[in-house]
Structure 1
C-alpha cells in the first residue's frame, strides 16, 4: 500500500539532470521510522547512479544517501526512537538479516542488501533517497545523531565518514605511529585525513596536482603532501607508507601508489570507480603488499563514527546549499570545486511538485502529505 505523498528532485534519464518530482511513501510498518528530511549530503555515487554508470538505474531516481532527519512517526514496535529525535540514514535501508554478514553485524556485505537509492523493498515498493521531503525506513537502519553534533555536520559522516572510518578502524590502538597515505582529497578523502589524524597517524595526502596542498596542510592538518604527477616526489616517497586509503572515484592505475607502500603495506580501495583498475602483480609480490576493498560500514560503525566525531569535537568541511542549486553542485563536484562536501539544506528549500506549485517550508504531520 502507498502512504503519504512526498516531494523531491529526481533524475529521469542518463543525463543525470535533477528536476522536481512527487511520489508516495510506502506505508509505515510496525518496525518503521518516518522522518522529515532536514539535510542530505551530495556524493559521487549519487552522480554515477543518476547517469546509470554503475548498477542498473531505475528512473525516476531520487538520489541522496547521507540523510539527517527528524522522526515524525513511529511504527507500533519501534522502541529505540521517539518522535522529535534527530536521526540519520546512510547507504542501506535493508538486508536479509539471516546470512553470516548480517549475523556478524556486517550487514553492508549481505548479498541481498537494499540500497537507500535505486533499491526495492521487501514489499515491492521502490526506494527514493534523501533529496526529498520525507522517508520511511526500518528502525535497524536508522542511527541516532548525538546531541552535540550539528545535523549538517553529521550528514557527510553517514556515507563518506563511515566509508573512511570502517577500514581505518583496523589500525586503531597501534603501538607505534603509523604512516598513512590518503589518496584524493574530496568528500571521503578529507574525512579520512581528519580521522587518521585523530587516531594519531602521520598523514600524507596524495593528490594529482599541487592546488590542494595548502588546504591539506593548513586546514586539515596533514603532515605531508605528495603530488602523484611529480616523478621525483613519488620516487623520494617510495616504501614510506604503512597504508593508503584510496578515495578517488575515477579511473587511475595503481602501480605508482603501490610503490609508496612499505613491506606488508596495504592499499584500501573505497571508491566506486566505474571502470576496472589496473596493477602489475609483481608490484604486490615483491613487497608482500595487498590491495583490499571496503564498502561503507556497518550500522554499528555508522553509530560509532558519529559518536567518535562528537566526542573528539571534529569538524566536517561542508558547503551547505539549497535544493535548487543541486545540479550546479554536481557540476562543481565533478570539477573538484568544493571544500570538501556539498550538503543540501532540504528542509530549508522550497520543493516543487510535478505541477510546479511551491511546497511550503513548514512541516505538518497531521496532513495527509509530508511537506517541507
Structure 2
C-alpha cells in the first residue's frame, strides 16, 4: 500500500435545508474503511454543482436522516494513498479527479459495458450515497473538504494540458452534457444541435457541441446571454420570450438534436419538440425539483417521429474521452474561483444565479491556486 493516513477528514457540512443560505459548518467525519482498491485524494479544487444545492436544500428528496452532508462531486487533487489492488495506474503524487459517481457493482452487464452510471444494482453517489460493494453501509462524503476517499475505478488522472481548477467542473457538469452529445452523434449524424438553457450545463454543452463539429443553436428565454453564447460556440441564438409558439415559427424541423439543460417544470416542451426533424432526439439532463415535466401532446411525437430521452452523468471511459478532447482542443470552461474558506458566501451566490458559469472552490491550504 502506498502512502499512509496521518490526516483527518474534515469538511463543510450542511445539517438542514437552511445550509444553502450560508450556514455550512466545518466538521470532522469518519470516511469509509479504506479498501484495497481505494485511493485517498488531498482535495485542491471542488466545483459547486446545482446538484449540491438540490441535495443540501432537500429539494430532490427528504434529507432528515442524511444530514450532516458534505457535498461536492467535482473533485480534483493529489493522490496521497493508493490501495494494493488499484489497477488503473494511479500512484501517489498524481493529480486526479472524481465526478458524481464513486462506485457500482462492477459486475453487471452495464458495468462491464462501461455504462457504470446505469448499474443494475445502482450507482453510489460521490456524496449522499451508501457503499455496498466494499465497506457496506458506509456513507459517501463529498469534496467541500480537505480529503476524499473512494474506489479507484472512478478516479481518473487529469491530463497535464488541463488546468486542474478548470478540470473540476467538467467531471460532473461537463460530462453530463458531453455524454448525450456523443451518444446522439453531435457533429456526425446530428449536424444541427440545439442547447436549451444557457447556465452552467448549457455553457458546457455549447463548448462541446462546437468542438464536436456541430452547428449550434443556443435557446434561451431572453437575449441577455446572447453574446456569451456566441463566444462559447453558438452560431445561432433563439429567444423564446413570452410567446414561444410565435418565436419558433419558421424554425420547425430545423434541428437533429436538442439537449435540454433547463430544470423549469413549466418549460414549453411541445414548442421545443417542434424544432426537431423526424427522427430527432430531445434529451433531458436538467432535473426539475418537482419531479414532473409539462403535459405532452402525443401527436407531437407520433407524427414527427421524435424521441424523448434522458441521460445521466458519464462513465469513467466517457469522462476519459471527454478529458482527452478538452486537452486536444484546448477547451476552457468559464469559471470563478472561491477560497474554500468562503464557501458560505459562494453557495448563496450560486443559489442566487450569479455564476457565469461555474464556481470552483479552492483549498489553498492543500495546494490549490486561486
Fold shared by both chains (TM-score > 0.5): yes
The partner residue of 1:136 within 139, 142, 149 is 149
Give the C-alpha shift of residue 158 in structure 1: 0.4
Partner of 1:61: 69
Q: Structure 1 residues 229 and 90, CA, compared in 2 at 3 Å: closer, same or farther? A: same
Give the C-alpha shift of residue 52 in structure 1: 1.2
Distance, in Å, in 2 between the alignment partners of 1:175 and 1:126 is 42
Aligned residues: CA RMSD: 1.9
Give the C-alpha shift of residue 202 in structure 1: 0.7
Partner of 2:232: 220
The partner residue of 2:93 within 84, 94, 99 is 84
The partner residue of 1:247 within 236, 257, 261 is 261
Give the C-alpha shift of residue 171 in structure 1: 4.2
Segment of structure 1 superposing worse, 228-237 or 152-161:
228-237
The partner residue of 2:124 within 108, 114, 117 is 114
Structure 1: give runs of 5+ residues left out of the alignment.
349-360, 364-372
Partners of 1:10 and 1:63 within 8 A in 2: yes
Segment of structure 1 superposing worse, 81-90 or 321-330:
321-330
The partner residue of 2:30 within 24, 42, 49 is 24
The partner residue of 2:49 within 40, 43, 50 is 43
Q: TM-score, normalised by structure 1?
A: 0.89
Distance, in Å, in 1 between the alignment partners of 2:56 and 2:86 is 33
Partners of 1:108 and 1:297 within 8 A in 2: yes
Q: Structure 1 residues 15 and 106, CA, compared in 2 at 3 Å: closer, same or farther? A: same
Structure 1 SS opposite 2:55? helix
Give the C-alpha shift of residue 55 in structure 1: 3.7
Partner of 2:198: 185
- Count of residue pairs brought into register by the alignment: 348
Give the C-alpha shift of residue 71 in structure 1: 0.4
Q: Structure 1 residues 344 and 362, CA, compared in 2 at 3 Å: closer, same or farther? A: closer
Is 1:201 the counterpart of 2:214? The answer is yes
Structure 2: give runs of 5+ residues left out of the alignment.
none
Partner of 1:369: none
Structure 2 SS opposite 1:26? coil
Structure 2 SS opposite 1:137? strand
The partner residue of 2:249 within 235, 243, 250 is 235
**Aligned ranges 1:315-326 → 2 under 5 Å:** 315-326=332-343
Partners of 1:31 and 1:77 within 8 A in 2: yes
Is 1:339 the counterpart of 2:356? The answer is yes
The partner residue of 2:301 within 284, 291, 299 is 284
Partner of 1:125: 138
Partners of 1:16 and 1:47 within 8 A in 2: no
Partner of 2:12: 9
Partners of 1:65 and 1:116 within 8 A in 2: yes
The partner residue of 2:110 within 101, 109, 114 is 101
Give the C-alpha shift of residue 132 in structure 1: 0.5
Q: Structure 1, residues 251-281: CA drift from partner, whole Å, max 9, x if none?
A: 2331121111111111100122222012221
Q: TM-score, normalised by structure 2?
A: 0.89
Q: Structure 1 residues 283 and 246, CA, compared in 2 at 3 Å: closer, same or farther? A: same
Partners of 1:3 and 1:27 within 8 A in 2: no
Partners of 1:41 and 1:155 within 8 A in 2: yes
Q: Structure 1 residues 309 and 240, CA, compared in 2 at 3 Å: closer, same or farther? A: same
